[in-house]
Amino acid sequence: MEWFDSIWRHIYRAFLEKDRWRVYLRGYGVTMQVAFYAAILGIIIGTILAFMKISTRKNGKPTLFAHIANAYIDIIRGTPSVLQLLIMWFVVMSGSHNGILVASLTFAINSGAYVAEVIRAGILAVDKGQTEAGRSLGLSNFQTMRYIVLPQAFKNILPPLGNEFIVLIKETAIVGYVSLSDLTRVSNQMTSTLFDAFTPLIGAAVIYFVTIKILTILLAKLERRLRKSDNR
């Protein structure tokens, strides 16, 4: 009982006393806000990069856009996200004081490189005969891509895109570098305030875990529904 009472006192001080749970809630809101904006912008950037990367000339060689996309993806994937965040904050957007904007753009740029590969792989996974069938029906390249290839590719890329959103939520833990009070930074500040490193950090870890677990379950259900539609 003494052990249980001690744990409860720590939990009460870290989360309930003086309504400290509200601080965690605001930090959680910042985390989810940055992840959501970054995911949306990352999908847009990734889609553009994917089409740039698969673009070819009439002789089958990659276009200039394909080389640009390859360079972009190599640079972004080859550098740490925390370094990209600091460059964006101190160099590219040094005049901005909107940490959410800077963080969202940084993670969108970073995520876009990975999303591009997901979308590209999804498109290339569609049998080439589907494209040939569309062209034989008199559809243009754009119409074939829109009405035949992309709907089939969408089923392949949707689950990985969901996983990318999960990764983004965890990666936002570094936004404290640009003075954003996200969930990780709030819990770290609480350790200094309460002189208790265990309870606030474990509490934040539990919040992250529950969020990711819920999203993972929803993603698994979505994948099962997609597989059922494939078997019809």
pLDDT on residue 19: 87
What confidence tens digit (pLDDT) does each residue in 120-144 have? 988 888 887 777 777 777 777 778 8
16 inside domain: yes
CATH of the domain at 133: 1.10.3720.10
Any domain includes 75: yes
The mean pLDDT value for 23-41 works out to 95
Q: Is residue 78, in this structure, part of any structural domain at all?
A: yes
Question: Is residue 123 domain-resident?
Answer: yes
In a domain, 33, yes or no: yes
pLDDT digits (tens, 9 = 90+) for 69-93: 999 999 999 999 999 999 999 999 9
Strand partners, 62: 56
Tokens 């876009």 belong to 112
Closest Cα partner for 187 from 63, 27, 72, 1? 27
Contact (CB, 8 A) for 14 and 20? yes
Residue 223, exposed/middle/buried by CB under 10 A (0-12, 13-18, 19+)? middle
**Whole-number percent of the chain with pLDDT over 90:** 55
Helix axes 198-231, 21-54, angle to 10 degrees: 40
pLDDT score of 231 more than 80 = no
- Is the CB of residue 186 less than 8 Å from the CB of residue 26? yes
Q: Are 113 and 76 in contact (CB under 8 A)?
A: yes
What average pLDDT is seen over the chain? 88
Nearest-angstrom CA–CA distance, 104 and 92: 14
Query: What does the pLDDT read at residue 85?
Result: 95
Range of the domain at 118: 11-231
Number of structural domains (the chain) is 1
Instruction: Give me the sign of the Cα torsion angle 98, 75, 41, 159.
Output: negative
1 falls within a domain: no
User: What is the chain's Cα-based Rg?
Assistant: 22
Sign of CA dihedral 95, 97, 98, 101: positive
Domain membership of residue 2 (yes or no) is no
